[in-house]
Amino acid sequence: MALPIRNRLVAWHACILAVLLLLFTGGLYLALRYHLNREVNESLLAWAAENYGIPEKRPHRDNSGAGRAADAMLPESFSMILDEKGRSLSDHSLNPAVAARLRRMVAQIRVPRGKRRDEETVAIHDQWYRIFLFPLVQPDGRRSYRVVGRSLEHVNSSLAGLAVFLGSGWLVAVAACTVISWSFVGRTLRPVNLMTRDSLQIAASGQLGRRIANLGWARDEFGELCQALNQMLSSLEDSYETQRKFLADASHELRTPLTSIKANLDFLNHATKLPEAERSQVLRDIAAEVDRMAGLVHELLLLARVEGQSHPERLPVDLAAIAREAVSGFLHGPAADRRLTLQAPDSLPVLGEADKLKQLLIILLDNALKYTAGQGRIEVWIGNHEGEPVVSVSDDGPGIPEAELPLVGNRFYRASNIRGTPGSGLGLAIARSIAAHHQAMLQLSNRQPAGLRVEIKFPRNEEDHAQ
């Protein structure tokens, strides 16, 4: 199971700080150790030069005397002269174990000729010393070494105290960073916890109309996430509402044809001696109701698809070419006995979906054809009006009562003067929905002396307008 984000962020913060502090304290410790050792070296060399006249660049003849009191063991420093085999040439009072350790060291280490000195850090009886060996020339010409040393006890003690201090500070800093990060990350992630809580409550209650509260995060990433979640909830609510309306409309509108079909089937089942002509009529009635039901289901599905499409793909299309294609299908079919005319420019670009726009024109043409008597006139006009693309479909049918014009276009609403004509009342509702998805406006108006004009105004094409 993955760790919560809060734990991971705090762990990352603590690890990064721990590594940075470790690098800093380690560098500080090494720098101070180098500085202290350098001070020991410089002070030891200065002490040796002051007391024994150690040369700076070349071996010298020993004139300091073999039995100087300075050769005795000092609290911090010591000096003695040894030959090349490690034998003492000075009268000294060094501890025998110390002298023996120095002799072994001299016997093992040689200072090459021409080299000023050699140095070592050695442990003598669990105490560390910094040792320098300087080559000398005795009066009789023999080669020997002046050995000077100084205890590193105070350096090591200081470094040990510094290590304890830096280590303790490192632990305290990492612990404090962990506590502060835990609190800070918790406050930072609080909006996520609240959004999660609200989302779970919405999911559990099914209240898609409820929204996630934005508690002042509108200008940061959490505000954008909250807004995105609310937009998703709006889309879900719209989809759910569309589905609910579809089911309600389908159940309401399909009840009548289903009832008619059932009644006719029951009649056929009981009327066993029904004449063939009447039986054929009943079967034709059933077939008509089935066709009506199939057409109704098709229109309901089309309406549901159009209304359920939240963000339609809008591409440049030629509205004039689409209109010519739609009108051509009617001229050679249903409108052969009508006077159907089209007036359109060579090209009229708009932004939209070609299939949906063609469906819109087919609905308007079919609606005009349905209510226009034989030899009636249907006019389609495509053009620009004040820079806006416009589609107009006019007929010379019965029109719609003025008081009912605002209601036409609602689902299943049919004007009072045409309710005897077959239809579902969904055609203009689908057309209005397609127009709305193209940000267009569908308007109805009566013509004089008779007829209906359906006009669709599309938004101005900004690119063409700029050109």
**Would 169 be classed as within a structural domain?**
no
Confidence of residue 47 (pLDDT cuts 50, 70, 90): confident
Q: What is the CATH number of the domain that holds 281?
A: 1.10.287.130
Residues 284 and 317 in one domain: no
Q: Return the higher-pLDDT residue of 131 and 173.
A: 173
| 298-314 residue pLDDT tens | 777 777 777 666 566 77
Q: Is 386 left (phi over 0), alpha (psi -120 to 50) or beta?
A: left
Q: Which two tokens stand for residue 66?
A: 């073999």
Assess whether 107 and 21 both reside in one domain.
Answer: yes
Judge whether 425 lies within some domain. yes
Tell me: do 281 and 242 sit in the same domain. yes
Which residues face 318 on adjacent strands? 349
Altogether, the residues listed in the chain come to a count of 467
Tell me what the pLDDT averaged over the chain comes to.
77
DSSP assignment of 215-279: -S-TTSHHHHHHHHHHHHHHHHHHHHHHHHHHHHHHHHHHHHHHHHHHHHHHHHHH-TT--HHHH
Clarify whether residues 355 and 231 are in a common domain.
Answer: no
User: How confident is the model over 170-176, as a mean pLDDT?
Assistant: 90
Q: Is residue 436 part of a domain?
A: yes
119 vs 356 pLDDT, higher one: 356
402: pLDDT strictly greater than 70: yes
In this predicted model, which residue has the larger pLDDT, 335 or 259? 259
Query: What CATH number is given to the structural domain containing 364?
Result: 3.30.565.10
Q: How large a percentage of the chain has pLDDT more than 90?
A: 6
Point out the domain boundary residue: 124, 139, 159.
159
Q: What is the pLDDT of residues 274-330, one digit of tens each?
A: 788 888 888 888 888 788 778 777 777 777 777 666 566 778 899 999 999 888 877
Q: What total of structural domains would you count in the chain?
A: 3
Nearest residue to 317 via CA among 343, 365, 353, 280: 353
Spell 275-302 as b/e; 16+ CB within 10 A means b.
eeeeeeebeeebeebeebbeebeebbeb
Predicted local confidence at residue 98, as pLDDT = 62
Lowest mean pLDDT among 16-25, 111-120, 136-145, 183-192: 111-120
Question: What are the tokens at 24?
Answer: 């800093």
> Do 459 and 440 touch, CB atoms closer than 8 A?
yes
Burial 159-177 (b: 16+ CB within 10 A, else e): beebeeebeeebeebbeeb
Does residue 447 fall inside a structural domain? yes
Neighbour-count burial for 18-46, b at 16+ CB within 10 Å, e otherwise: beebeeebeeebeebbeebeeebeeebbe
Give the model confidence (pLDDT) of 106-159 as tens digits. Answer: 555 555 554 455 667 766 666 787 877 777 776 776 777 777 778 888 888 888
Q: CA 126, CA 105: separation in Å to the nearest integer?
A: 16
CB 132 within 8 A of CB 106: no
259 plus 363 within the same structural domain: no
Question: pLDDT value at position 123?
Answer: 66
- Same-domain status, 300 and 361: no
Tell me: do 342 and 275 sit in the same domain.
no
For range 374-397, the mean pLDDT: 87
Residue type, 3: L
* Residue 154 covered by a domain: yes
Please indicate, yes or no, whether residues 368 and 410 belong to a single structural domain of this protein.
yes
CB hemisphere CA count around 203 (13 angstroms): 8
Q: Which residues contact 244 (CB under 8 A, 6 or more apart)?
A: none
Greater confidence (110 vs 226) lies with: 226
| Domain, as residue range, for 243 | 221-306
Cα dihedral 399→401→404→408 (10° resolution): -10
Instruction: Mark which of 306, 335, 367 sits at the end of a domain.
Output: 306
pLDDT of amino acid 54: 58
Query: Is the pLDDT score of 342 beyond 60?
Result: yes
What is the per-residue pLDDT across 403-447, written as a single tens digit (0 to 9) for each? 888 888 777 777 777 776 766 777 788 888 888 888 899 988 888
Q: Which domain-ending residue is among 131, 159, 187?
A: 159
With respect to residue 216, please indicate whether it lies within any of the assigned structural domains: no
Instruction: Give yes or no: residues 291 and 420 share one domain.
Output: no
Together in a domain, 102 and 120: yes
Among 65-79, 84-98, 238-252, 318-332, the minimum mean pLDDT is found in: 65-79
The verdict on 291 and 324 lying in the same domain is: no
Say whether both 428 and 332 belong to one domain. yes
Please, what is the Cα angle at 138 between 134 and 139, to 5 degrees? 150
